Amino acid sequence: MTTSASNCMADIISRYEQSILEDWQLKQLAALTTRQDLISEADLRQQSAGFLALFIPACGAGSINDITTPEWQMVLEFLADVSRSRALLGFSPSETATMVFSLKQSLFARLRQELRTDVEALADELWNVTVLLDKLGLYTTEVFQKSREDIIKRQQAEQEFQRSEAKFHAIADYTVDMELWFDPDGKLLWVNPSVERITGYSPAEVLARPDYDPTLIAEEDRSLWAATFQEALRGSRGNNLEIRHAHKNGSKIWLGASWQTVFDKEGKSLGVRVTAEQFSISLQHKSMKYN
């Protein structure tokens, strides 16, 4: 495919761009009569005009026999975006490729009009257009299939996450002890319903306090809690740290706290899990009392 052939095609399309666009859009709408609920006529026109705006200069660059060259990069990126968006909208692969394939008829009509006196040149240009648009149409199908596979994998991952989350809540929400999850920076992400039974504060009230408000810890134990919590964020693990915690009714309660870092499957820290058990009196006091 010669440079003169590509320039000829680009020149003809450029001169009749608006009429080609109108005719092409009508053909797309006719092909998508049962799917117009998925894309508006305005969006279809915008996509079609955007494609032609990139297609014409690429044709004139003299490399229409190879769509892997840099001249076609922007066209391919545009088609990839269209394919991915239509996969998300629910189009089929063939419906997506129709956007490109339906352009043939509109271009054929203009080529016949312009080259009607040169049969050989007309045959060459019709073949050139056919091969080029077939390549671009197949490319949209390949991207669509890959996008659809990615969508299915993401949906499966989301479903698995939802199942895992349901199992997590089935266990964590009904544990007797108070459970808290802090992110690696120390921000409280989640607390189970037992916090209200133990402290009088609802989960929402606790989460509304920034970084687990220190005033929830009795004043005499705040420095101990702060130092231990910083060690926990650095990866330490411990059990039965005795602290006094403020109750919503103004009293103080004894808690025995245990903590450990939580990791994902790749070994990346997800933060710190803290489990707090309520005691009627300090364990240390109880030990002294019975010894």
How do residues 99-139 score in pLDDT, each as one tens digit?
Answer: 899 999 999 999 999 888 988 889 988 998 999 999 999 99
- At residue 3, the pLDDT reads 45
pLDDT of 146 over the 70 cut:
yes
Kindly state whether residues 18 and 136 are assigned to the same domain.
yes
Is residue 163, in this structure, part of any structural domain at all? no
**Residue-level pLDDT at 2:** 44
**What is the pTM assigned to this prediction?**
0.53
Same domain, 70 and 210: no
Confidence of residue 198 (pLDDT cuts 50, 70, 90): very high
Are both 153 and 180 inside the same structural domain? no
Given this model, what pLDDT does residue 281 score?
61
Range scoring the smallest mean pLDDT among 23-27, 33-37, 65-69, 172-176: 33-37
Whether 62 maps to a domain, the answer reads yes
Print the domain residue range for 215: 174-289
Q: Are 39 and 32 in contact (CB under 8 A)?
A: yes
Give the chain's domain count: 2
Note whether 87 and 181 are same-domain residues. no
- 94, 128, 158 — which closes off a domain? 158
Do 144 and 194 belong together in one domain?
Answer: no
pLDDT at residue 289, as a whole number = 40
More confident: 87 or 169: 87
Domain boundary among 127, 158, 189: 158
Contacts 24+ apart (CB under 8 A), 36-45: 38/86, 38/89, 38/90, 38/91, 39/86, 39/89, 45/21
pLDDT band at 10; cut points 50, 70, 90: confident
CATH code of 278's domain: 3.30.450.20
Residue 291: the pLDDT is: 42
The CATH number of the domain holding residue 116 is: 1.10.490
DSSP string across 201-221: --HHHHHHSTTS-GGGB-GGG
- Shared domain check, 136 and 254: no
- Say if residue 145 is in the same domain as residue 200: no
Residue at a domain's end among 93, 125, 158: 158
Whether residues 57 and 145 fall in one domain: yes
Q: What is the crossing angle of helices 103-114 and 17-31, to 10°?
A: 140
Question: What tokens does 179 get?
Answer: 């459970």
Mean pLDDT, rounded, of the chain: 84
For 152, the token pair is 């299915």
**pLDDT tens, position by position, 182-197:** 999 989 888 999 999 9
Cα separation, 182 vs 49, in Å, equals: 50
